[in-house]
Amino acid sequence: MSQFQTHPQRTMESGFLERKNRFAKLASLISHTRKYDLILEHKIEEEGFKALQLYTSIYISACLMTGGVVLSEEEIVERLSAQKASLPNKTPNGLLLPKADFNLEFNMLHKCFARIITGLGFDYLTDSWQLPINVRVVDGQADRGALDRPYSTSKFHSDTWAGEPADVVLLNIPILGDIERTSLEWLEPLQELGESHLKVLRDFNEGEDIARQSTKIDISPRLGHIYFSDCALLHRTVRANGRCRVSIDLRFRMKTSPSYKAHIENLCGPSRLGNYVSLRQWQRIGSEALIVFEETMEECRNKYNILQASHNTVAPYKMAELAADNTEVMRRS
Ligand SMILES: [Fe+2]
């Protein structure tokens, strides 16, 4: 018997129905250009997206140690492709982790992003938000070693398989680079599975059968759009021999009943729960408080040289409160 066989419990079915209803409520608040049961595409207002591109470019330029020079999109793509292996703060799945050397740039990016998200007006439906947000560089060429990793994003997966709580919705925003060829795709699993597939796996390969029986969703990421997708869908990175892409992604947890929340938290990887903070804490960053990372690029490089691909992907941080006068200035800027 497959570990993903339809579960007879009623809670599985009602859980899935409630999941769809939660997503429908979200979709009723967010204007969208495309929508399916558990995924929607929202067009970001133009000025906001331009600002997001700029702050992402500032952040990446700082990671590339350009000495304050903000690189163009073309330069960023070129430098990131050339430096594929030598950025110590880049994880095997392409995250560019914030470091002490560019704390301010990261806070500015977070603030810009939070302003766009908060402006959508759906935050009262959410329970908590991932911190820090992910800035991800996806190489255009497949790397054999990366594909063999158990949790490689090149394999179809639900984030719950890697330990995320099963009440999360994912946000993906392509920012710059080769969006067309270095892309993302989503699958909808068989409805009969309900929520039975939302559990931790040791390797995304264990979910191959589910992916095989799933249906491809007809959405291809476009520049200037945010993709909201429920974690019950499967997704993966797609590479078609193109150049690299830069995206922002993060997850937020939806508000559910206390008993369902406790059930979800029992099933997920407990260490993942520590990656979520309250909306209020998430929104204060960059205006009332700064998120501060203490490890420097140099310290990270030393670790990276020793540990290579398995280096630590956790980004410990602390919060630094701003004085009231400064808060006013930051809020207006
Ligand atoms: Fe994922």
Beta bridge partners of 55: none
Q: From the CA of 158, how far away is ligand 1's center (Å)?
A: 6
Q: Domain extents for the chain?
A: 12-322
Q: From the CA of 331, how far away is ligand 1's center (Å)?
A: 32
Q: How confident is the model at residue 180 (pLDDT cuts 50, 70, 90)?
A: very high
Using one digit for the tens of pLDDT, what is the confidence trace for 5-19?
A: 444 444 555 789 999
Using one digit for the tens of pLDDT, what is the confidence trace for 252-276?
A: 999 999 999 999 999 888 888 999 9
Q: From the CA of 176, how far away is ligand 1's center (Å)?
A: 19
Q: Which CATH number fits domain 12-322: 1.10.150, 2.60.120, 3.40.50, 3.40.1350?
A: 2.60.120
Tell me if 322 sits within 8 A of 289, measured CB to CB: yes
Q: From the CA of 129, how far away is ligand 1's center (Å)?
A: 16
Q: From the CA of 256, how far away is ligand 1's center (Å)?
A: 22
Q: From the CA of 180, how far away is ligand 1's center (Å)?
A: 19
Q: From the CA of 73, how far away is ligand 1's center (Å)?
A: 25
Q: From the CA of 157, how far away is ligand 1's center (Å)?
A: 6
Q: From the CA of 252, how far away is ligand 1's center (Å)?
A: 13
pLDDT at 312: 46
What does the alpha-carbon distance between residue 99 and residue 289 come to, in Å, rounded to a whole number?
A: 17
Q: From the CA of 242, how far away is ligand 1's center (Å)?
A: 20
Q: From the CA of 39, how far away is ligand 1's center (Å)?
A: 14
pLDDT at 144: 72
Q: From the CA of 207, how far away is ligand 1's center (Å)?
A: 13
Tell me if 47 sits within 8 A of 211, measured CB to CB: no
Using one digit for the tens of pLDDT, what is the confidence trace for 17-58?
A: 999 999 999 999 999 999 999 999 999 999 999 999 999 999
pLDDT at 269: 82
pLDDT at 14: 74
pTM for this entry: 0.91
Q: From the CA of 146, how far away is ligand 1's center (Å)?
A: 14
Q: From the CA of 193, how far away is ligand 1's center (Å)?
A: 19
